[in-house]
Chain A
Amino acid sequence: MKASRVALALLCLLFAAGTAQAANSIKIGFPIPLTGEIPKVGESTKFAAEMLKEEINAQGGLQVGKQKYPLEFIYEDNESKAESAVNVTLKLIDRDEVVALVGPQSSRQAVPAGGVANDNEVPMISPWSTNPDTTFNRPWVFRGAFLDPFQAPVAANFASKQFQAKTAAVLFEISNDYSKGLADNFKAAWEKLHGPGSVVAFESHGPKDQDFSAQLTKIIGLKPDFLFLPQNYSFAAMIVPQARDLGFKNPFMGSDAWGSAELMNLCGKACIGQFFSTHYAAAGATGATKEFIDKYQKKFGYVPDDVAALTWDSVNIVLTAIQKGGVVDSNVRKMRKLIRDNIAATPKFDGITGSMSFDEQGDPIKCAVVVKVSDAGEFTFVESVCP
């Protein structure tokens, strides 16, 4: 008992020391998936954030009021797991005393981490999460991406037009909030278009599955016009070739989690010609978006995926909010409140993934694009859908 009290006192001292130094730099925390199921997502986040940080720190730091403050970004690995996301988010809040959080990326981690951030009154912005629960009734939580209830009809409308489809099948990951949520939304949207029973198969798989032949055989037997896969890129890369091996000839439609730079390395030829809805199209971009893509490609050797672009925008939203506050308060709690209020009050933000403003739930109102995987493996723009 005594020992724990001493430890507590020591901890308090440590924190006090931390607070005293906090005014020197601006600390932002990134609870991101550097390992686990979607490591490329974590890598893209880190690369985009580092690129922005280097640019700003090269000019002496972020101009807030009359002074320049260097940026300090802290990356913690959430291992693509919900539990780890909660732990590292708490660690960033309590130990590192960050003023804002960018991430987690996938809804599976962003939904629980958003709860932690909201309870601790720390502004959090998830660049990539599309599940409504991430921000729902959480005034401290924002996002950089559109929502699944918006993305699902985009996919449904596009597929009925492009494939002349009447029936659809869905294969989703049961333990993933993102995949499950999008699958449910898609089913509702499709049945609204084509009547009840037009989603002929609604199948799921587990988080560690590698063989999908049972579900796919069942799906193929029901002869859907296309297969909707609201899946992470690593699963999409396994499911598409396996479905082809089982004799499925119809097209696939994917969701924004397909849009990783790694999809084509893993999937190969089978994914060429497929469509998916996403946040931005790298091929054929112009203006600031093109500038970002060129810089990123030069530095890291590959075309940035949507995660990188959304992270770039999200960090910029946080930095803009800090600048608008005009001061860097040494009191972390006051600083966090200031940032939150300024993000919520952002009238219109022109990012590289389109212009956006936040609604009362902290969700941006912005457009989605549908891209096609070209023969060269690039994600080329097909059409843009705005709310």
Chain B
Amino acid sequence: MLSLSGLWSLPCNPTASAQPMEQFIQQCVNALQWGSFYALIALGYTLVYGVLRLINFAHGDIFMVGAYISFFVSTFFLSSSGPALSRDLALALTIPCTVVLTSGVGVTLERIAYRPLRRKGVHRLYVVITALMCGLVLENGNLALLGASRKALPDLLDKHIYMISGIAVTNLKLIVICTALLVFFALHFIVTRSRIGMAMRAVAWDEFALPLMGIPLDRVIVFTFMLGSGIAGLGGMLFAMSYPVLDPYMGAMTGWKAFIAAVVGGIGDIRGAFVGGFLLAFVEIMVAAFLPSTFRDLFAFSILLLILWKRPTGIFGMPMSTKI
């Protein structure tokens, strides 16, 4: 076992890039990229929770479905028997197709699994359990349909590695980080400034009084699922581009962690999901960077537990009387 002191006392070339400061900045860049994925998934969790008070545990698997959709769509666009488009064009078309198709999956899930239960007025707990089961159905359905062998997304982007004073950044990493930021600001704008966003907040406020005001409840809910799943689809595609080994269970673990990030940030709050996602990634990466990597998850989640212990409602969360 390597201890930290053992690591730094090793003889190293002073001109080499083994400078602690550079390492730290590199780890920050790593955390920004990894956090972008958590943030993109956590936004979907928090959106659905914020509007419906429903923890959509299938969300991580919708992210997985998004990654697979991007695989099929891009393979189709690039295949010689299909349209055989150039890579740039394929990339430009895969993004909207993935987002639209993944939101379709999210909306379908809402329509066939959650809405019937909501209509019957059952307790939220049953809907949450249904969501868990939907996630398992998506995972195992994928396994049954596509088999267990893993898929690799075709290269859609020429990867460039930029070395800026010893810190390596790829163009893809920059795209991922910028996308996460853009999605956050767009979502924030939609929820706080647009009419449909106002309707979403109204559903969260009082879902029973809303139809009396003439606001179509179902349409608002469908829009929420569309938005959340679309973001997950975009995240799934970027994930597949960054980590090009797809398997049916990839969404489960990442999804759970993103859910934890959303809770730590304060579930139901968009800023919370965003900040929570990056916070989790920073903690995970820094623990692995400065402590033996064996303890990564143990330490990372102990730290998050401490944060929740101090602030049970999360960083941005408000205490609420009716949670599930």
Give residues in A with beta carbon < 8 Å to B: 34-37, 39-40, 42-43, 174, 197, 200-206, 208, 210-211, 213-215, 217-218, 220-223, 234, 237-238, 241-242, 244-247, 262, 265-266, 268
Contact = CB atoms under 8 A, between A and B. Distances in A.
A64 to B, nearest CB: 35
A71 B159 CA distance: 52
23 contacts: A34-B148, A36-B148, A42-B148, A197-B10, A208-B253, A210-B250, A211-B30, A213-B285, A214-B286, A214-B288, A214-B289, A217-B23, A218-B7, A218-B289, A222-B10, A222-B18, A223-B13, A223-B16, A238-B243, A242-B243, A245-B159, A245-B161, A245-B173
Contacts of B34: 211, 213
Contact of A266 (B18, B150, B254, B292): B150
B79 interface: no
| Interface hub of A203, A210, A241, A268 (most chain B Cβ within 10 A) | A210
B18 A221 contact: yes
Contact of B2 (A201, A223, A234, A265): A201
Given A221-B17, A268-B152, 17 more contacts: A35-B143, A39-B147, A40-B149, A43-B149, A174-B294, A201-B7, A204-B292, A211-B243, A214-B30, A214-B289, A215-B288, A217-B289, A218-B288, A223-B13, A238-B243, A244-B161, A266-B152
Contacts of A217: 23, 26-27, 30, 289
Nearest to A34: B148
Contacts of B247: 37, 234
Interface in B289-304: 289, 292-294, 296-297
A174 B33 CA distance: 24
Contacts of B2: 201-202
Contact of A39 (B12, B148, B289): B148
Most B CB within 10 A of own CB, among A42, A220, A247: A247
Q: Which of B13, B16, B26, B147 has the most CB of A within 10 A?
A: B26
A305 to B, nearest CB: 13
B302 to A, nearest CB: 15
Contacts of B163: 247
Contacts of A200: 10
A214 to B, nearest CB: 4
A218 B297 contact: no
Contacts of A213: 27, 30, 33-34, 285
B170 interface: yes
A24 to B, nearest CB: 33
A73 B150 CA distance: 26
B168 interface: yes
Nearest to B1: A202
Contacts of B22: 221
Interface string B231-248: 000000000000111010
A356 to B, nearest CB: 30
A234 to B, nearest CB: 6
Contacts of A244: 161
Contacts of B269: none
Interface in B156-172: 159, 161, 163, 168, 170
B155 interface: yes
Contacts of B18: 221-223
Contacts of B284: 214
B245 A234 contact: yes
Contacts of B285: 213-214
A35 B214 CA distance: 51
A238 B245 contact: yes
Contacts of B296: 205-206, 214
A269 B253 CA distance: 28
Determine which residue in B2, B22, B288, B292 has the highest number of CB atoms from chain A within 10 A of its CB, and name it.
B288
A144 B288 CA distance: 37
Contacts of B161: 244-245, 247
Contacts of A197: 10
A322 B284 CA distance: 53
Interface in B1-50: 1-2, 7, 10, 12-13, 16-18, 22-23, 26-27, 30, 33-34
A245 B168 contact: yes
B16 A247 contact: no
Contacts of A234: 150, 245, 247
A63 B18 CA distance: 65
A238 B286 CA distance: 20
A208 B245 CA distance: 12
B23 A206 contact: no
Interface in B194-249: 243-245, 247, 249
A272 B245 CA distance: 17
Nearest to B33: A213
A180 B143 CA distance: 28
Interface in B109-149: 143, 147-149
A37 B149 CA distance: 9
Contacts of A223: 12-13, 16-18
A262 B149 contact: yes
B136 to A, nearest CB: 14
A215 B23 CA distance: 11
Residue with the highest number of chain A CB atoms closer than 10 Å, among B27, B159, B249, B293: B293
Contacts of B243: 210-211, 238, 242
A239 to B, nearest CB: 10
A39 B159 contact: no
Q: Which residue among B18, B27, B150, B247 has the maximum number of chain A CB atoms within 10 Å of its CB?
A: B150
A246 B168 contact: yes
B144 to A, nearest CB: 10
A266 B244 contact: yes
Interface string B282-324: 0011101100111011000000000000000000000000000
A262 B12 CA distance: 38
A169 to B, nearest CB: 11
A265 B152 contact: yes
A39 B149 contact: yes
Given A213-B285, A214-B288, A262 B150 contact: yes
A205 B253 CA distance: 14
Nearest to B9: A197
A307 to B, nearest CB: 14
A244 B1 CA distance: 26
Contacts of A42: 148
A343 B243 CA distance: 44
